[in-house]
A and B are shown apart, each in its own frame.
Chain A
Amino acid sequence: MPTFRSLTARMTSLHVITILITATIIPLVLFYFMNVAVHTIHEQAMRDQAEWLASNLRRNSDGKLDLELPRNLKAIFSDDYGRYAYAVLDEQGAPLLSPTPYAQGLFVSSDTIPSGYQVAKIGDKEIAGVSILKNIGDESLWVQVGEDLHHRDVVLDDVVAEFLQRVGWTAIPVLLLLATADILIVRNSMQPLLRVSTKAARISPNRLEVRLPVHDVPNEILPLVTSINQALDRIEKGFAHQREFIADTAHELRTPLAVLRARLETRADLLPTDELFRDVDVMSRVIGQLLDLAESDNILVHASDRADLYEVCADVAAHIAPLALAQDKSVALEASGAPVWVRGNAELLRRAVRNLSENALRHTPAGSTVELIVGSDATVTVLDRGDGVPVSQRDTIFQRFGVRDPYRTGGAGLGLSIVKRIAEIHQGSVTVDSRNGGGAQFTLRLVALDDNRTASADNELTS
Chain B
Amino acid sequence: MRLLIVEDNEQLSELISSGLRAAGFATDSVTRADQALAAATANRYAAIILDLGLPDQDGSSVLATLRQAGNPTPVLILTARDGVDDRVAGLRAGADDYLVKPFAFAELIARIEALLRRPGNLLGAQLQLGDLTFDTQSRQAIVDGHPVLLSVRETTVLELLMRRKGNVVSRKAVEDHLFGLGEVTSNAAEVYVHRLRKQLAAAGASVKIATMRGVGYVMKETD
A257-265, A383-391, A428-436: which lies at the B interface? Answer: A257-265
Contact between chains at B102 and A260 (CB < 8 Å):
yes
- A69-B52 Cα distance, complex, nearest whole Å: 125
- Chain B: residues with CB nearer than 8 A to chain A? 9, 11-12, 15-16, 18-19, 53, 80-85, 87-88, 100-105, 166-168, 170, 210, 212-216, 218, 220
- Contact partner, A288, options B82, B170, B214, Cβ 8 Å: B82
Overall SS of chain A's interface: helix
Interface digits, A211-254 against B, CB 8 Å rule (1 contact, 0 not)? 00000000000000000000000000000000100110011111
A11-19, A167-175, A316-324: which lies at the B interface? Answer: A316-324
Interface digits, A349-368 against B, CB 8 Å rule (1 contact, 0 not)? 00100000000000000000
Contact between chains at B11 and A318 (CB < 8 Å):
no
Contact between chains at B88 and A314 (CB < 8 Å):
no
A-B contact pairs, 11 of them (CB 8 A): A250-B82, A254-B101, A257-B101, A280-B102, A314-B214, A317-B214, A321-B168, A322-B167, A324-B212, A333-B215, A347-B84
- Contact partner, A330, options B87, B212, B216, Cβ 8 Å: B212
The 6 closest A-B pairs by CB, nearest first: A333-B214, A254-B80, A262-B15, A318-B168, A258-B101, A258-B102
Q: Which residue of B lies closest to A246 (CB)?
A: B83
| Contact A261 B102, CB 8 Å, known A254-B80, A332-B212 | yes
- A205-B3 Cα distance, complex, nearest whole Å: 46
Which residues of chain A are near B103, meaning CB under 8 Å?
A: 258, 261
Q: Which of under 10, 10 to 19, 20 to 34, or 35 or more describes the interface residues of A?
A: 35 or more
- Contact partner, B80, options A251, A260, A333, Cβ 8 Å: A251
Which residues of chain B are near A179, meaning CB under 8 Å?
A: none
Which residues of chain B are near A295, meaning CB under 8 Å?
A: 83-84
- Chain A: residues with CB nearer than 8 A to chain B? 243, 246-247, 250-255, 257-263, 265-266, 277, 280, 284, 288, 291, 295, 299, 314, 317-319, 321-322, 324-325, 330-335, 345, 347-348, 351, 369, 372
- A321-B166 Cα distance, complex, nearest whole Å: 9
Question: Which of B19, B82, B212, B216 gathers the greatest number of chain A CB atoms within 10 Å?
Answer: B212
- A333-B82 Cα distance, complex, nearest whole Å: 26
Contact between chains at A255 and B12 (CB < 8 Å):
yes
| Contact A330 B210, CB 8 Å, known A259-B9, A261-B104 | yes
- A254-B212 Cα distance, complex, nearest whole Å: 33
- A258-B170 Cα distance, complex, nearest whole Å: 32
| Contact A255 B80, CB 8 Å, known A261-B104, A347-B87 | yes
Which residues of chain B are near A251, meaning CB under 8 Å?
A: 53, 80-81
Which residues of chain B are near A258, meaning CB under 8 Å?
A: 12, 80, 101-103
9 other contacts beyond A255-B80, A262-B105, A266-B18, with CB at 8 A cut-off? A250-B82, A254-B102, A255-B12, A255-B101, A258-B12, A258-B103, A261-B102, A284-B102, A372-B214
CB of B41, distance to nearest CB on chain A (Å): 26
Contact between chains at A325 and B218 (CB < 8 Å):
yes
- A262-B78 Cα distance, complex, nearest whole Å: 13
Contact between chains at A321 and B85 (CB < 8 Å):
no
Contact between chains at A333 and B213 (CB < 8 Å):
yes
